[in-house]
Amino acid sequence: MVSFVEGTDFIAECQNKVWLQNQSDIVIEGTVKKIEGKTISGETFTFITLNVNKYIKSEGTEEIIVRQLGYLEGGPVVLSITLEYSIGEKVRLYLEKAEGTEYYQTVCGEYGKISLGTAEKKIEKKKPEININKRSYGVKGFFANFFDWLKGLFF
């Protein structure tokens, strides 16, 4: 389990993805399926159920549950460190086993969760527009294009 050690640059370590992966029990990419809050022994927790799309480190089941202290969905923010999740969100999570439980928790809090979006995005490449009527060729055309270019720099 990762813990804060006085005198170390813990935040810098958490921003290093190689270090973060080495500290994790598992690293997954998955989709948030369900979010629910529960109070256990006077403490409020959020339980995030994910469908695992890919294991980057280690192997496991097709579905995992991440537990975090605090609850956001439909309730007040209990702690400032409570991470936000949304149904359908695609995430990469760096996880460790929560001590004494069957659940996982993110390593290094917010640094252990990377949102990958909510839907597959298709990137369309635009083709450059060429207006042949605007082009000029030959020596006269070269100077006309050159002066148009200069004019664009200053005006």
Q: Could you please state the CATH topology (level 3) that the domain comprising 10-117 is classified under.
A: OB fold (Dihydrolipoamide Acetyltransferase, E2P) (2.40.50)
Q: Which residues have C-beta within 8 Å of that of residue 105, sequence separation ≥ 6?
A: 66, 67, 68, 95, 96, 97, 98
Any idea where the domains of the chain sit in the sequence? Answer: 10-117
At 11-52, the pLDDT tens digits run: 788 888 999 999 999 999 999 999 988 888 888 888 999 999
For the record, the structure tokens of 75 come out as 């309730």
Structure pTM?
A: 0.67
| Sign of the C-alpha dihedral computed for residues 32, 30, 96 and 115 taken in this order | negative
- pLDDT digits over 82-132, tens only? 788 889 999 999 999 988 889 999 998 889 999 998 754 444 444 444 444
Residue 44 C-alpha from the chain's centroid? 25
pLDDT digits (tens, 9 = 90+) for 118-138: 754 444 444 444 444 555 555
